[in-house]
Amino acid sequence: MIPVCPLSALPRGEAVRVEGDVPIAVFHTEDGEVLAIDDTCTHQDASLADGWLEGCEVECPLHASRFNLHTGAVDAPPAKRPVRTHQVHIQDATVYVTLSEDEPNLPPGVSAGSVGAAP
Amino acid sequence: MNRVIVVGASLAGLATARSLRAQGYDGELVVVGEEPHRPYDRPPLSKEFLAGTTDIADLTLEADGEHLGIDWRLGTRADRLENGRVHLDDGSTWTYDGLVIATGTRPRTDVVGARLDGVHLLRTVDDALALREGLRRGGRVVVVGGGYIGSEVASTARAMGCEVTLLVSGTTPLHHALGPHAVAVSDLHHRHGVEVVTRARVTGIRPSGGSLVVHLADDRQLPADRVVLGTGAVPAIAWLDGYGIELGDGVLCDPTGGTSLPGVVAVGDCSAWFDPALGRHHRKEHWTSAIDQAPVAARTLLGGEAPATAARRAPYLWSDIHGSRIQMAGHAELADTCEVETGSVADGSFVAVYRRGGHPVAVLGVNQPKHFMSVRRRLVSIPAVPSLQGATA
Ligand SMILES: Cc1cc2nc3c(=O)[nH]c(=O)nc-3n(C[C@H](O)[C@H](O)[C@H](O)COP(=O)(O)OP(=O)(O)OC[C@H]3O[C@@H](n4cnc5c(N)ncnc54)[C@H](O)[C@@H]3O)c2cc1C
Ligand code: FES
């Protein structure tokens, strides 16, 4: 389990990016759910934590593909592959994430460890 | 409603077909497209696809395994719309209960010599493949055009090793789109070795011993192995002219995509929706506008309440030039002030916020996606700002 932040530091409607080999985005929806997915869009190197959160979907900040925060599924191209979802636990008012063991669907030209390295 | 015909098999047409199905329409759905291809994405055509780092399969706009139950009529053009019937160039005639006009734009070609060998336009995947082939041979490339496509092609051609000159009619590339901050784009071109010629007026392109010469109004002559015309586009609506549908700079629509004919909506680059924020019809050539309009137009056709958010979002577009990510949202033309809030123009990384009466009406970001989005989200309520009503009359 990775500790992310105190729940109070993540207001509803906001997201936080957790750095790592493969960065994670943790969202607090307007409905009060806390959900985690891979932060990097599967189309190109964009951070989904910077995206447009609406309900339990986040729209990629660059080209507007939408990812479902519960399932990781993408609605329509240009992104074509889903993102991984990760389990979130809240303990003692702190947000923790358990990483998925699946392979991430990183975009072309991005590998684990190199995310966010492009300009 | 038993039969909906969509004319134009690209982003806007496909997105509307998708919305119709999502909203429960289960009748016949015919999509007519002049190009022989299934819908594909155009933005990469001046960027990574032109460079050759992605291929045709990456461009497809249909999701894997997506089945919309569409009767595709590709390689077929709609010639006219007469008495409630669409006439196709294969001789067939179609009645409809609903018609979606999504025919996009065509590049302008009003330059003498536009049809010479070695002169390229860029709208379709076939155009992009031909241009890629040409750029791979290197040499001198002259790009004509002060818009996004001109700057993107110049940047890609340069990265492919060509010697590139970009001709713009204003004082900087993208002057019209970015105003005072367009200088950031000039700097990018400069740093990457693209020569920018400002206030250039092309009088013609002429062949010269196996290559080309671009003639300018001030008598300058620029030799070129190839020329790319990025001189803007016009809505592809000639096929509708004279058949009783109201046209202007695009098919004129109300704020929900409805046209002057019953049962007919228009979406995407060919349409000019009435924009309450501007108080006039406004045609946009932005990828996300087509996406935002689709569910609204589908709802209009099927008859029902428009979804609350979609088309009311401020227009948004992006561009990639020499590896820099440029993002613009809102209506910069409404602003009375503009300030750089984060970063600096000189460093090529900044966010500039455009305000009218203190309200943010537009935002420009270069290599600052996070801060850009935080401002972009605040632009949502523009039409609600009372001081903006009739602002550009
Ligand atoms: C090179 C390039 C780069 C771009 N980059 C960006 C970018 O970075 N960001 C951005 O926001 N936008 C960008 N755009 C704009 C974006 O691609 C358009 O906004 C989008 O394609 C509009 O979709 P559309 O479906 O309305 O029109 P189009 O994509 O133009 O599709 C219209 C289709 O209708 C067909 N058609 C026309 N007339 C007829 C007829 N009579 N009968 C049958 N079919 C017909 C055409 O053949 C075409 O396939 C770019 C465009 C180009 C060309
Ligand atoms: S980078 Fe996310 S949709 Fe393109």
- Regarding whether B135 and B227 lie in a shared domain, the answer is yes
Confidence bin at B312 (pLDDT 50/70/90): low
- Regarding whether B82 and B144 lie in a shared domain, the answer is no
> Does position B393 have pLDDT exceeding 50, yes or no?
no
User: Residue B14 falls within a domain, yes or no?
Assistant: yes
Query: What is the per-residue pLDDT for B205?
Result: 98
User: Residue A51 falls within a domain, yes or no?
Assistant: yes
User: Residue B312 falls within a domain, yes or no?
Assistant: no
The predicted-structure confidence for B338-360, as pLDDT tens digits, reads as follows: 999 999 998 999 999 999 999 99
Per the CB < 8 A criterion, the answer to whether B16 and B294 are in contact is: yes
Query: What is the per-residue pLDDT for B84?
Result: 92
- Regarding whether B227 and B117 lie in a shared domain, the answer is yes
> Does position B179 have pLDDT exceeding 90, yes or no?
no
Confidence bin at B305 (pLDDT 50/70/90): low
Most confident of B13-17, B109-113, B336-340, B376-380: B13-17
- Regarding whether B144 and B89 lie in a shared domain, the answer is no
- Whether A88 lines ligand 2, by a CB cut-off of 6 Å, is no
User: Residue B392 falls within a domain, yes or no?
Assistant: no
User: Residue B308 falls within a domain, yes or no?
Assistant: no
Q: How many domains does chain A have?
A: 1
User: Residue A111 falls within a domain, yes or no?
Assistant: no
User: Residue A63 falls within a domain, yes or no?
Assistant: yes
- Regarding whether B224 and B156 lie in a shared domain, the answer is yes
Q: Measure the CA angle with vertex B102, ends B290 and B30; round to 5°.
A: 120
- Regarding whether B85 and B26 lie in a shared domain, the answer is yes
> Does position B327 have pLDDT exceeding 70, yes or no?
yes
User: Residue A18 falls within a domain, yes or no?
Assistant: yes
B8 C-alpha to ligand 1 centroid (Å): 9
- Please name the residue of chain A whose CA is at the shortest distance from the CA of residue B378: A52
User: Residue B130 falls within a domain, yes or no?
Assistant: yes
Neighbours of B176 (CB within 10 A): 15
The C-alpha of A102 sits at a distance from chain B's nearest C-alpha, in angstroms, of 20
User: Residue A33 falls within a domain, yes or no?
Assistant: yes
- Regarding whether B194 and B92 lie in a shared domain, the answer is no
Phi, psi of B201, rounded to the nearest 5 degrees:
-120, 115
> Does position B249 have pLDDT exceeding 90, yes or no?
yes
User: Residue B60 falls within a domain, yes or no?
Assistant: yes
- Regarding whether B253 and B155 lie in a shared domain, the answer is no
**Contact assignment for B41 to A78 by CB distance below 8 Å:** yes
The range of the structural domain enclosing residue B362 comes to: 323-382
Confidence bin at B301 (pLDDT 50/70/90): very high
Distances (CA, A) of B187 to A83, A91, B178: 36, 51, 14
Phi, psi of A100, rounded to the nearest 5 degrees:
-65, 150
> Does position B114 have pLDDT exceeding 80, yes or no?
yes
> Does position B104 have pLDDT exceeding 60, yes or no?
yes
- Whole-model pTM? 0.93
The predicted-structure confidence for A49-60, as pLDDT tens digits, reads as follows: 999 999 999 999
* CATH assignment of the domain containing B54: 3.50.50.60
* CATH assignment of the domain containing B349: 3.30.390.30
ipTM score of the complex?
0.88
Per the CB < 8 A criterion, the answer to whether B275 and B281 are in contact is: yes
Low-confidence ranges of chain A (pLDDT < 70): 114-119
> Does position B310 have pLDDT exceeding 70, yes or no?
no
Query: What is the per-residue pLDDT for B381?
Result: 53
The range of the structural domain enclosing residue A79 comes to: 2-98
User: Residue A117 falls within a domain, yes or no?
Assistant: no
Q: How many domains does chain B have?
A: 3
Phi, psi of B71, rounded to the nearest 5 degrees:
-90, 100
**Ligand with the closest atom to the CA of A64:** 2
User: How is residue B276 written in tokens?
Assistant: 């309450």
* CATH assignment of the domain containing A11: 2.102.10.10
- Whether A80 lines ligand 2, by a CB cut-off of 6 Å, is no
- Regarding whether B220 and B150 lie in a shared domain, the answer is yes
Least confident of A16-25, B292-301, B380-389: B380-389
Query: What is the per-residue pLDDT for B306?
Result: 59
The predicted-structure confidence for B119-176, as pLDDT tens digits, reads as follows: 999 999 999 999 999 999 999 999 999 899 999 999 999 999 999 999 999 999 998 8
